[in-house]
Structure 1
Amino acid sequence: MRRIKELIKNISPFNNRTDMPKILYIIKVILIFWAFKLGAELIGEGLVIALHFACGKNPLKGEMFSNNTITLITYFGYGIMIGIIVLFWRLFQKKGLKELGFVKPAASYFAGVLAGMVLLLISVAAITLTGAIEYNGVFGNIDYRMVAVMFICFVLQGALEEILCRGIVQQLLQKKTSVPSAIFVSAVLFTIPHLSSMDFGNLAIASIAVVNLFLVSLIFSLLTLRFKSIWAACGMHSVWNYILYSILGLNLSGNGEIVSSVFDMRTAGSSILNGGVYGIEASIITTAVLGTAAALLLVSYCSVSRFSSRAARLKGRTLS
């Protein structure tokens, strides 16, 4: 019984214990991820419901805000969730923003933004050339205010997911286990929440979507390692989602309810070229683009790591 109690204490997400076997620590970090994620979501949902009642609406009776308003509340709720997660991080892990990955100047955020823009536009352009995406011009009645506000929304949404996966999970695991283990576990935890929006009736498209989620997660992790910060991953994640959804008007991870966008672009039918209802993130062409980017980043990271190791050894010999 004592061993069981000690085991529970060790893997509890509500303390900062690290003195345990690696496999138990991995389980602990996974529990931390879900505790922080679900805890923040419950509190965030509670605040949204409370906001309805405060405005004289009873959601239990179907009295809801408009779809646009609910979308904005949901996305801005991510900001509240980020605050809650940072609070949990300080209270239970006894760590600050530096240990969460916010250690370099925010300028690296724009490197991630550039990477996201380039990879997305290459993917969309290539798919469009195959005829799997139709370009129908620019919308005549664009809600520019909504398009602008959605940028802030996606900044928060991208940051939230990166704080959880590349911040909490990767930062904790790479210090106790290994970098490959940290990358793999963060990729799995990044993928799982996206499974609910996949259509497993088309196994080919669903399988490609899972592969692409792993690839983009690998890219986010490599950017985090390359810049020694999660700023770049946050930038790439947010701008990818924003341009895909609010600028191009294409499905985002299975979400086809576009609030407002600039261009009228639509998938032509459903195939592995355009990802069907899931969107280009389930496209085999996107797989090629992300796979190439991941390979280049991996080579770059390994080269820099080897150079740094050699420089450190030479410095050590000089000092001795």
Structure 2
Amino acid sequence: MFSNETGLFKQTKAAKFLPHIILAPILAIIFMIVGQLIGVIMFSLLSPLVHDSIAKSLFYLSFTFLFISLLVFAWVKFIEKRDISSLGFCKENFIKKYLLGFVFGFIMFTAVIVLLSITGHVVVDKNPVIPVGISALSSIFIILPGWIIQSGTEEVVTRGWLMNVIGARYNVPIGLFVSSSLFGLLHIFNQNVSIIAIMNIILVGIFFGLYVIRTHNLWGACGLHCAWNWAQGNIFGLEVSGSSLGTGSLLKLNLTGAQWFTGGAFGPEAGFATTIILLMGIVIVFVMLKKKSSL
């Protein structure tokens, strides 16, 4: 079930160089820091030319993550000397795989909202300070490419690269554990972060990682991640991992009640309601993976 002789792990083994388990997470952090630094500099140079606030949010989200992916691609191509497609970017039915993941991600986060609603932990904001509803439709879709780049980049670094190189060099469970743990720790400096928030983001990493292992591609996980963030911030109007772009949303919901259940100011990702949905998702994908391996 967790063999590194199949799928993306087998492709990764063709690399001329696979970093040590200690070096690999350090490299992942370097990719993130250097890539974001380049992106921030580029954004600072170009932002005076952009006057629309929504467009600025789109460019900021895109630039601060795009160069991270480019650094990983360069490393894979010129240092590891393997094809970039081995990160999980297969050509066959890639749009279908992405959209399927997107639908799953949207359903999963909607399930979190449903759970919060039936337990009385969410209310509609009647005096929103951001555009809501029909007036926000354009901004909701304008910002989507930014989420595509942001979520795709995080998947490239953690699942596409880190999980696969460690899984290929050592074994798959270690790759899954290290990549998910780093994914959680990357959010440790976010605003209003909590222990439950980090725990849930690690669970998100495990869920996405299992999905990649099950599907043998990264497209689906990119779609999952994108839909999760987009739905959270631009459909339901909630904080995304402690941050808000303020670009507008279809609805504007407020969390109410115990913060350990709702997530409070960090957003639902810091709440036990999300923990429940994530554990259900992990069990479902694990059962699917186990069933496939027994065929």
**Same fold per TM (> 0.5)?**
yes
Aligned to 2:158: 165
Give, as a single letter, the amino acid of the residue that structure 2 aligns with 1:121. T
Aligned to 1:75: 61
Q: Is the 8 A contact 2:233 2:239 kept in 1?
A: yes
2:30 maps to 1:43 = no
Question: Residue by residue, what CA displacement relative to the aligned partner does 1:156-182 show, whole Å, maximum 9, x if unpaired?
Answer: 111000000001101111111111100
Give, as a single letter, the amino acid of the residue that structure 2 aligns with 1:123. V
2:236 maps to 1:248 = yes
Moved over 4 A (4+): 64-67
Aligned to 1:94: 81
Aligned to 1:190: 183
Tell me whether 185-194 or 38-47 shows the greater mean CA deviation: 38-47
Residue 259 of structure 1, CA deviation? 1.7
CA distance change for structure 1 residues 166 and 154 in 2, over 3 Å: closer, same or farther?
same
Tell me whether 233-242 or 129-138 shows the greater mean CA deviation: 129-138
Aligned to 2:211: 223
Question: Residue by residue, what CA displacement relative to the aligned partner does 1:170-195 show, whole Å, maximum 9, x if unpaired?
Answer: 11111111111000110111111211
Question: Residue by residue, what CA displacement relative to the aligned partner does 1:249-306 show, whole Å, maximum 9, x if unpaired?
Answer: 0111111452211112111255222110011111111111110110121122122123
SS in 2 for 1:266: strand
SS in 1 for 2:20: helix
Give, as a single letter, the amino acid of the residue that structure 1 aligns with 2:179. S
RMSD: 2.3
Q: Is the 8 A contact 2:58 2:146 kept in 1?
A: yes
SS in 1 for 2:124: strand
CA distance change for structure 1 residues 75 and 174 in 2, over 3 Å: closer, same or farther?
same
Q: Is the 8 A contact 2:263 2:270 kept in 1?
A: yes
Q: Is the 8 A contact 1:40 1:85 kept in 2?
A: no
Aligned length: 274
Q: Is the 8 A contact 1:270 1:277 kept in 2?
A: no
SS in 2 for 1:221: helix
Give the 5 Å matches for 1:1-320.
17-18=17-18, 25-52=20-47, 55=49, 68-77=54-63, 78-103=65-90, 104-106=92-94, 107-136=96-125, 139=132, 142-199=135-192, 206-269=194-257, 271-307=259-295
Bigger RCO of structures 1 and 2 (CA < 8 A, at least 6 apart): 2
Unaligned runs of 5+ in 2: 1-14
Unaligned runs of 5+ in 1: 1-14, 19-23, 56-63, 201-205, 308-320
Tell me whether 151-160 or 136-145 shows the greater mean CA deviation: 136-145
Q: 2: distance between equivalents of 1:189 and 1:181?
A: 12
Q: Percent identity?
A: 23
